[in-house]
Amino acid sequence: MTSRRILLGLAAATLARPALAQAPWPSGPIRIIAPFPPGGSVDTITRLLQPHLSVDLGVPVVIENRPGASGAIGTAALARSPADGQTWAMVFDTHAVNPALIANPGFDTRRDVVPVMLVGTSPMLVTTHNSRPWRSLQDVVAAAKARPDTITYGSIGNGSLAHLTMSLMQKAGDFRVVHVPYRGGGPMSAAAAAGELDMPMATNAGLGGQVGVTLRPLAQTGARRSALFPDLPTVAESGIPGIDSLAWWAMIGRAGVPEAVLRRFHAALAKALAVTEVRARLSGPLGIDVVGSTPEAFGAFLDTQMATWAQVVRENNIRPD
């Protein structure tokens, strides 16, 4: 009798497994971690997608800002979450830099989180406040050479793409400026508006609509001119060769999330990006080129970015703080 009960129990457990594997998803509100403060580009893009994801998935989508350590604190929170597809994170280009910059971020980028989608890319803009005299990047370089280490430039933090790109620019252009790091795009954008910086450097999205209003654009960091700023020269066109640096935004998930759940969430993201108003907002005022990649294409892109910027971190001896 005891053996028969054990066999019946094992059979019941075996029959229950498919039901558990097919449990409905999502099972409740979905959390998207934005690992930067409110007001920055990561927060803005996530909130733009939020209502469309909620409608498509049929559950509330909650955005949780977890800033700090160039996005590593928020990503670590994702890595500690259950692998059930209820938690995701929108990351910035610092996601590719942090492994080379932070000794113990609390997660492994390749092992603990997985790529979902490269949402979009954008050149960064080298700008100056309207109160400053410079009309071109060449003007700033000439002034920096005449008075080294007196002109400031701002970024969203040590090890950010703007910081690394300006490090490359200083080497290639043989000039020196002073880095002023902020804890995210919101604080940096506020400082830029107040005229606290000589050269705020971020994407158009990160600068909060100030370009052409309180800020004068001097150059853009992509290899080609942005469609949003067709008359603005690239850094290379401004006399500093070899600069091709694009900011990017992407969605990641917890490693181990069921493949079917990842694909369903990816499909919801793709539908949100296909909404006319969303694409118009991203490509228009935010200046972002929508990509909407597959998880596999984003994974390959991320590998290249990690290798590229790790080399820049090493060669320039860059530290997180």
What is the rounded CA–CA span in Å between residue 35 and residue 43?
Answer: 8
Question: For the chain, which residues make up each domain, given as ranges?
Answer: 30-121+247-316, 122-246
Query: One fold for both 30-121+247-316 and 122-246?
Result: yes
In angstroms, the CA 158 to CA 163 distance is 6
Q: Per-residue DSSP letters for 1-62?
A: -HHHHHHHHHHHHHHHHHHHHT--S--S-EEEEE-S-TTSHHHHHHHHHHHHHHHHHTS-EE
CATH code: domain 122-246 is: 3.40.190.10
In DSSP terms, 250 is beta-bridged to 91, 118
Q: Helix, strand, coil % (nearest 5) of the chain?
A: 40, 20, 40
CA distances from 40 to 229, 269, 287 (A): 20, 20, 14
Q: What are phi and psi of 161, to 5 degrees?
A: -60, -35
CA dihedral sign of residues 76, 293, 276, 229: positive
- Residues 199 and 177: beta-carbon distance below 8 Å: yes
Q: Does the bond joining 187 to the residue before it have cis omega, within 30 degrees of 0?
A: no
Per-position DSSP letters for 214-229, written without gaps between them: TEEEEEE-SSS--TT-
Q: What are phi and psi of 9, to 5 degrees?
A: -65, -40
State the architecture of 30-121+247-316 in CATH terms: 3-Layer(aba) Sandwich (3.40)
pTM: 0.84
Q: Which residues of the chain have pLDDT under 50?
A: 1-21
- Determine the pLDDT at residue 4: 44
Q: How far is CA 84 from CA 58, 81, 101, in A?
A: 17, 8, 29
**C-alpha separations of 141 from 3, 61, 171, 261 in Å:** 84, 46, 12, 50
State the pLDDT at residue 316.
86
Backbone angles phi, psi at 81, to 5 degrees: -80, 160
Work out the end-to-end distance of the chain between its first and last CA atoms, rounded to an integer number of angstroms: 68
Q: How far apart are CA 197 and CA 129, in angstroms?
A: 7
Handedness of CA 105, 109, 112, 114 (dihedral sign): positive
The pLDDT value recorded for residue 69 is 86
Would you tell me how many other CB atoms lie within 10 Å of the CB of residue 92?
27
What's the one-letter identity of residue 315?
A: E
User: What is the per-residue pLDDT for 23?
Assistant: 66
Residue 154 and residue 202: Cα distance in Å, rounded?
Answer: 8
pLDDT value of position 24? 87
* Residue 39 pLDDT: 80
